[in-house]
């Protein structure tokens, strides 16, 4: 679930003119941890404007993965660097502000393989962040105890077993005499939520903050207010004891930039170095009631217009432009970039043409950290996937990366960019349509009903195709390209299940024969990021960083295709480590379902995957060497060092 709440984000335009607005002022919650420039957690609480602050996110959990936090540069969880948040959490709670941990987000790796898997994660959350029996020295926040768990599950995540998580957490909560712990959720406004639908029907959630934005079919539309009203009524009728209770803001960073909660409460940030004692003291009491947040009801069109006009005039005075002009200030820079590309970039479309292609964005295929993807058709009838970029406040780096890198490619295993749109703050990329979606649908049990279960032979062909695509990017282009975000979600499958590498928003163009790459900060997705990308002590950043992500994808495919339980401890260990120690056992067990020739393919995939995820880049093979290994006899392959 990506942060698209720009400045005023106008999902809060509908504000109740009387009693409801008072409730909104008293009950404002905010997500913190998605931008390193949003200020500290303690500072957010010290404003006195928030009843709850939700730390975002625990972005890796379930399916045997080691849970991992991602607070966007505020601290480094992998090195125990988040212990300093202990004092911030305790300070927030002393001000009367509740602090929760949110699970999920738009860029992560999570999901449950079974009910017992969900139960194990519930126990982990209880012992690690709440009132459990875990060793405080092993907790990321030390002895600080959070006030609850929030579920912000992306809509492309499987909905399986989140109800089991809710049941198990509630059971643990009920065993505690303090009664302090909350269970909350942030579903998308399209009802029922694709991920949390079954969980919300349990009635176990204390608060639900519905995201009435980022989805044209149910978000606020100034030309058709009934769209939001209809969605609002559907949620209010579906949830038990639903009542309007306040406002939840998706980003502390954008709230600070827009000053929206300041306008609601009249409370500006305290002077630097000072905090407001006592905080808001308005945290809603824990009771079995669903509170729908984000957008209030309206008492009439006149009140809406007055509030909107006031906000827009204040915004223009502060920022020197209207909200819809933000991002357009970078258009000259982007236009200059496109001119430098000369004829290398594809066809240019207007925004109205993009809307016609997608029938006003009627069919959403999915969403990610940089935008939503919609299905459409070009005027000549060709099926396309249109990616609408939403980071219009930025400098256009993602847009330029995508156009500059992919326009230089022409390969059967690289997705084709057919066109783009740059009009004011509107930016879109038009790709060829991939009918079988992403590889993510066929990994970690994400297959939905009707999805084809890929055979080992098909998986091996996909592994080879991805390798050919990466080898082309590293060595076959006139300008070598390092992708930096190889993961199942970025591998698309055409009608024949041939893989195509997509999403070049984080890509880096390299000079010829450049062995080392200079990058600012960390880039990629947790679980697939090479060690040297976040810690240079492991080695230099280079094309070998893509090799690591590729190896993780290969081993993930192997783990997902495994249909039999070959060991009772295979699900509790780090899967690549378990494969390294039990290769013969794994391959021997699979011979009952496949022939000996295919078993050799499986062995080859595992050995190649293990070579690719060596910690030091110098120990990993190049993609050219990977192709040689995949095309060689299995008996000639040696196991890598552990």
Residues 529-540: pLDDT tens digits?
998 887 888 888
Q: Give the sign of the dihedral formed by CA 527, CA 528, CA 529, CA 531.
A: positive
Q: Known catalytic residue: 193?
A: no
Sequence-ordered list of residues with C-beta below 8 angstroms from that of 174, at least 6 positions apart, any chain? none
Find the range with the poorest average confidence among 189-193, 200-204, 323-327: 323-327
Question: What's residue 154's pLDDT?
Answer: 79
4-8, 497-501, 536-540, range with greatest mean pLDDT = 497-501
Question: What's residue 449's pLDDT?
Answer: 44
3-state secondary structure 215-245: CCCCCCCCCCCHHHHHHHHHHHHHCCCEEEC
Q: Provide the 10 A C-beta neighbour count for residue 570.
A: 17
Half-sphere exposure of 310 (CA within 13 A, CB side): 12
Question: What's residue 19's pLDDT?
Answer: 34
Q: Please, are residues 620 and 544 in contact by the beta-carbon 8 Å criterion?
A: yes
Cα–Cα distance list, 414 to 348, 463, 498, 501, 536 (Å): 20, 14, 10, 5, 29
Q: Provide the 10 A C-beta neighbour count for residue 198.
A: 16
- Joined together, the tokens standing for residue 55 give 């730390």
Residue 521 confidence (pLDDT) above 70: no
- DSSP class of 213: S
- Joined together, the tokens standing for residue 601 give 């393919």
Q: Please, are residues 304 and 248 in contact by the beta-carbon 8 Å criterion?
A: no
Question: What is the per-residue pLDDT across 53-94, written as a single tens digit (0 to 9) for each?
Answer: 999 999 999 988 889 999 988 888 877 788 899 999 999 999
For the stretch 288-312, what's the b/e string if a residue is b when 16 or more beta carbons lie within 10 angstroms of its beta carbon? ebbbbbbbbebbeeebbeebbeebb
Residue 164 confidence (pLDDT) above 90: yes
C-alpha span between 29 and 186 (Å, rounded): 12
Sort strands 364-367 and 508-509 into parallel, antiparallel or unpaired: unpaired
Cα–Cα distance list, 55 to 6, 44, 89, 245, 541 (Å): 19, 11, 10, 20, 30
Peptide bond into 192 cis (omega under 30): yes
Question: What's residue 16's pLDDT?
Answer: 30
Question: What's residue 139's pLDDT?
Answer: 87
Question: What's residue 611's pLDDT?
Answer: 95
What angle, 0 to 180 degrees and rounded to 10, lies between the N-to-C axes of helices 397-406 and 331-340? 10
C-alpha span between 150 and 69 (Å, rounded): 14
C-alpha span between 630 and 607 (Å, rounded): 10
Q: Spot the catalytic one: 147, 206, 391, 485.
A: 485
Question: What is the per-residue pLDDT across 260-296, written as a single tens digit (0 to 9) for each?
Answer: 888 888 777 665 444 433 333 344 444 444 444 443 3
Confidence (pTM): 0.49
Question: What is the per-residue pLDDT across 367-409, written as a single tens digit (0 to 9) for each?
Answer: 766 678 999 998 888 999 999 987 544 456 667 767 777 777 8
Question: What's residue 588's pLDDT?
Answer: 58
Residue 23 confidence (pLDDT) above 50: no
In the structure, what pLDDT confidence band is assigned to residue 131 with cuts at 50, 70 and 90? confident
For the stretch 411-447, what's the b/e string if a residue is b when 16 or more beta carbons lie within 10 angstroms of its beta carbon? bebbbbbbbbbbbebbbbbbbbbbebbbbbbbbbebe
Residue 625 confidence (pLDDT) above 60: yes
Question: What is the per-residue pLDDT across 550-569, written as a single tens digit (0 to 9) for each?
Answer: 999 999 888 765 544 444 45
Residue 190 confidence (pLDDT) above 50: yes
């Amino acid at each position: 679930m990506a942060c698209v709440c720009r400045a005023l984000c106008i999902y809060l335009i509908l504000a109740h003119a009387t009693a409801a607005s008072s409730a909104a002022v008293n009950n404002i919650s905010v997500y913190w941890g998605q931008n390193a420039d949003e200020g500290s957690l303690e500072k957010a609480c010290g404003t006195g404007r928030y009843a709850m602050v939700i730390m975002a996110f625990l972005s890796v959990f379930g399916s045997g993965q080691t849970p991992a936090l991602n607070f966007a540069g505020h601290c480094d969880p992998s090195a125990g660097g988040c212990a300093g948040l202990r004092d911030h959490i305790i300070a927030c709670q002393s001000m009367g502000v509740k602090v929760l941990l949110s699970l999920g987000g738009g860029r992560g790796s999570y999901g449950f393989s079974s009910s017992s898997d969900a139960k194990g994660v519930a126990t982990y959350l209880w012992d690690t962040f709440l009132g459990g029996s875990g060793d405080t020295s092993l907790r990321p926040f030390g002895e600080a105890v959070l006030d609850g768990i929030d579920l912000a599950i992306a809509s492309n995540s499987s909905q399986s077993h989140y109800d089991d998580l809710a049941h198990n957490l509630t059971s643990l909560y009920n065993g505690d005499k303090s009664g302090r712990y909350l269970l909350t959720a942030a579903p998308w406004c399209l009802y029922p939520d694709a991920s949390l639908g079954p969980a919300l029907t349990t009635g176990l959630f204390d608060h639900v903050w519905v995201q009435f934005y980022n989805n044209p079919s149910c978000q606020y539309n100034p030309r058709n207010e009934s769209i939001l009203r209809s969605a609002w009524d559907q949620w209010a009728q579906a949830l038990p004891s639903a009542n309007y209770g306040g406002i939840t803001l998706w980003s502390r960073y954008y709230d600070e930039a827009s000053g929206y909660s300041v306008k609601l409460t009249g409370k500006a940030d305290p002077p630097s170095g000072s905090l407001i004692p006592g905080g808001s003291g308005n945290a809603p009491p824990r009771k079995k009631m669903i509170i729908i947040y984000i957008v209030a009801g309206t008492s009439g069109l006149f009140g809406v217009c007055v509030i909107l006009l006031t906000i827009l005039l204040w915004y223009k005075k502060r920022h020197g432009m209207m909200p819809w002009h933000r991002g357009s200030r970078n258009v000259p820079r982007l236009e200059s970039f496109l001119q430098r590309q000369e004829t290398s970039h594809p066809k240019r479309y207007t925004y109205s043409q993009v809307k016609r292609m997608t029938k006003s964005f009627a069919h959403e295929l999915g969403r990610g950290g940089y935008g939503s993807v919609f299905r459409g058709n070009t005027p000549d009838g060709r099926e396309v996937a249109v990616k609408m970029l939403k980071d219009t406040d930025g400098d256009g780096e993602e847009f330029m990366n995508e156009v500059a890198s992919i326009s230089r490619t022409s390969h059967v295993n690289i997705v084709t960019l057919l066109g783009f749109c740059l009009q004011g703050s509107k930016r879109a990329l038009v790709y060829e349509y991939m009918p079988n979606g992403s590889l993510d649908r066929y990994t970690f049990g994400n297959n939905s009903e009707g999805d084809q279960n890929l055979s080992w032979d098909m998986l091996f062909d996909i592994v080879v195709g991805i390798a050919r695509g990466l080898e082309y990017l590293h060595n076959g282009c006139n300008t070598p390209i390092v992708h930096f975000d190889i993961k199942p979600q970025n591998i698309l499958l055409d009608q024949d299940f041939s893989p195509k590498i997509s999403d070049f928003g984080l890509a880096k163009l390299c000079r010829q024969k450049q062995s080392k790459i200079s990058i600012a900060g960390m880039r990629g997705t947790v679980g697939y990021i090479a060690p040297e990308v976040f810690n240079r002590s492991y080695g230099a950043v280079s094309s070998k960083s893509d090799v690591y992500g590729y190896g993780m994808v290969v081993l993930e495919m192997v783990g997902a295709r495994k249909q039999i339980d070959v060991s009772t401890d295979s699900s509790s260990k780090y899967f690549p480590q378990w494969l390294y120690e039990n290769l013969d056992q794994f391959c021997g067990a699979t011979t009952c379902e496949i022939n000996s020739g295919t078993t050799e393919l499986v062995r080859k995939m595992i050995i190649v995957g293990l070579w690719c995820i060596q910690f030091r880049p110098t120990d990993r093979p190049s993609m050219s060497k990977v192709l040689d290994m995949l095309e060689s006899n299995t008996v000639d392959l040696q196991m890598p060092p552990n």
